[in-house]
């Protein structure tokens, strides 16, 4: 039996409501879904799927409030493009076009704003997805951290593509397309508050080519997600609860950079909860896992791809980590906000 929809019991919004974990779920399902409920919104997927004259369109939107707006490996501009392209991609869609809305703080250097726009243009060109429309607003000094960006995107879902938690079953395998936690760790170090010298860049990148390549496996691909807020752990917890299955992760198989492991140890953070912005996680049929892995590794963005877990029938709704020491522990949904404002 699937868990009941969480209730929003908080009287004030906190940073934890934006972290992608339990508090975010309570806010989204206990307030927004309750007030805005409709069949398109109800699945709470990365994109809504719309039928239009015999075609299926994927439609998504996202906002970016990352601090700082420039960080190793990227900035808020390419992050906004790639994030929206990726939401479309893991929904099984070929991205077609984006919109971009800017909320700019009075006093932001025009050179910085031009740098963000240029970065967005390069990312859009690299992905082959134009920014087709947009909007600009300016707010008073001190009312924003330089600039916030909101993007929306539309994509086309090919006939026969069906993805969703209802298709996931025991025996399926879990893959990630590369190292996890790079983005969130890089952004936190870039703030300069930790006095750490770490050679690490954000993984921000578009994953639509990886996703489309996987979809060539047809019905063997069950579900995909980009593990952004709340990281891999939160994405798989949402899957386990929606599909009434268990997910068992192999700690030794998780692709993690030493810099991410070391930084997270210093911060006391589990890297499973740290966001990635250029990775996808996919569940595929067990007998297609090796082929899926080969497909991912054949692309430069998937060179570090790995099979990291297995879907089981029980215990329903839980994610388990099989540790390198031979034990097992529950990987719960994220509580709190260990890394605020990273995307």
How many other C-beta atoms can be found within 10 angstroms of the C-beta atom of residue 55? 11
How many other C-beta atoms can be found within 10 angstroms of the C-beta atom of residue 251? 17
How many other C-beta atoms can be found within 10 angstroms of the C-beta atom of residue 165? 20
pLDDT value at residue 4: 58
What percent of the chain stands above pLDDT 70?
Answer: 99
- Structural domains present in the chain: 46-157 (3.30.1330.10), 165-330 (3.90.650.10)
Residues forming beta bridges with residue 175, ordered by sequence position: 282, 307
> Average per-residue pLDDT in the chain?
94
Mean pLDDT of 143-165: 96
Q: Does residue 1 register a pLDDT over 50?
A: no
Mean pLDDT of 153-163: 97
Residue 194: its H or E element: none
If 0-12 CB within 10 Å is exposed, 13-18 middle and 19+ buried, where does residue 110 land?
A: exposed
**100 and 120 Cβ atoms separated by less than 8 Å:** yes
Give per-residue pLDDT as tens, 215-225. Answer: 999 999 999 99
Mean pLDDT of 86-95: 98
Q: Does residue 7 register a pLDDT over 80?
A: yes
Give per-residue pLDDT as tens, 172-184. Answer: 999 999 999 999 9
Mean pLDDT of 292-311: 98
What percent of the chain stands above pLDDT 90?
Answer: 84
User: Cα(330)–Cα(313) distance, rounded to whole angstroms?
Assistant: 15
Whole-model pTM: value is 0.94
Over the range 33-51, which residues count as b (16 or more CB within 10 Å of their CB) and which as e? beeeeeeeeeeebbbbbee
Q: Does residue 210 register a pLDDT over 50?
A: yes
- Which comes out higher in pLDDT, residue 19 or 237? 237
Q: Does residue 54 register a pLDDT over 80?
A: yes
CA 63 from centroid of its chain's CA atoms: 13
CA 11 from centroid of its chain's CA atoms: 28
Mean pLDDT of 276-283: 98
User: Cα(151)–Cα(167) distance, rounded to whole angstroms?
Assistant: 29
What confidence tier does 108 reach under pLDDT thresholds 50, 70, 90? Answer: very high
pLDDT value at residue 193: 73
Q: Does residue 160 register a pLDDT over 80?
A: yes
Mean pLDDT of 36-53: 94
331 closest CA partner among 267, 274, 260 = 274
Over the range 196-228, which residues count as b (16 or more CB within 10 Å of their CB) and which as e? eebebbbbbbbbbbbbbebbeeeebbbbbbbbb
pLDDT value at residue 78: 98
pLDDT value at residue 257: 97
What are the angstrom distances between the C-alpha of 40 and each of 33, 44, 46, 143, 238? Answer: 11, 8, 12, 33, 18
């Amino acid at each position: 039996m699937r868990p009941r929809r969480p209730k929003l019991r908080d009287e004030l919004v906190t940073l934890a409501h934006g972290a992608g974990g339990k508090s975010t779920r309570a806010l989204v399902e206990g307030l927004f879904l309750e007030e805005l409920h409709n069949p398109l919104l109800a699945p709470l997927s990365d994109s809504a799927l719309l039928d239009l004259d015999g075609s299926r369109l994927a439609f998504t939107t996202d906002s970016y409030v990352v601090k700082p707006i420039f960080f190793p490996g990227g900035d808020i501009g390419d992050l906004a493009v790639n994030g929206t392209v990726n939401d479309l991609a893991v929904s099984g869609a070929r991205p077609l076009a984006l919109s971009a809305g800017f909320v700019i703080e009075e006093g932001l250097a025009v050179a910085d704003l031009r740098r963000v726009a240029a970065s967005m243009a390069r990312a859009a060109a690299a992905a082959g997805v134009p920014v087709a429309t947009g909007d600009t607003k300016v707010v008073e000094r001190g009312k924003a951290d330089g600039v916030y960006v909101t993007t929306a995107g539309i994509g086309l879902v090919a006939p026969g593509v069906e993805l969703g938690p209802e298709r996931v079953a025991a025996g399926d395998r879990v893959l990630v397309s590369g190292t996890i936690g790079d983005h969130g760790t890089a952004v936190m170090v870039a703030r300069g508050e930790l006095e750490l010298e770490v050679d690490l860049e954000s993984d921000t990148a578009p994953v639509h080519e990886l996703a489309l390549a996987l979809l060539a496996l047809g019905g063997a691909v069950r579900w995909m997600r980009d593990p952004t807020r709340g990281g891999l752990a939160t994405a798989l917890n949402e899957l386990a609860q929606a599909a009434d299955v268990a997910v068992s992760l192999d700690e030794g198989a998780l692709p993690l950079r030493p810099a991410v492991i070391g930084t997270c140890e210093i911060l006391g953070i589990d890297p499973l909860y740290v966001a990635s912005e250029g990775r996808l996680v996919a569940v595929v049929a067990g007998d297609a896992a090796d082929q899926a892995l080969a497909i991912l590794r054949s692309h430069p963005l998937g060179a570090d791809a790995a099979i990291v877990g297995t879907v089981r029938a029980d215990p329903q709704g839980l994610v388990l980590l099989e540790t390198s020491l031979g034990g097992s522990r529950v990987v719960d949904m994220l509580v709190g906000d260990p890394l605020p404002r990273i995307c």
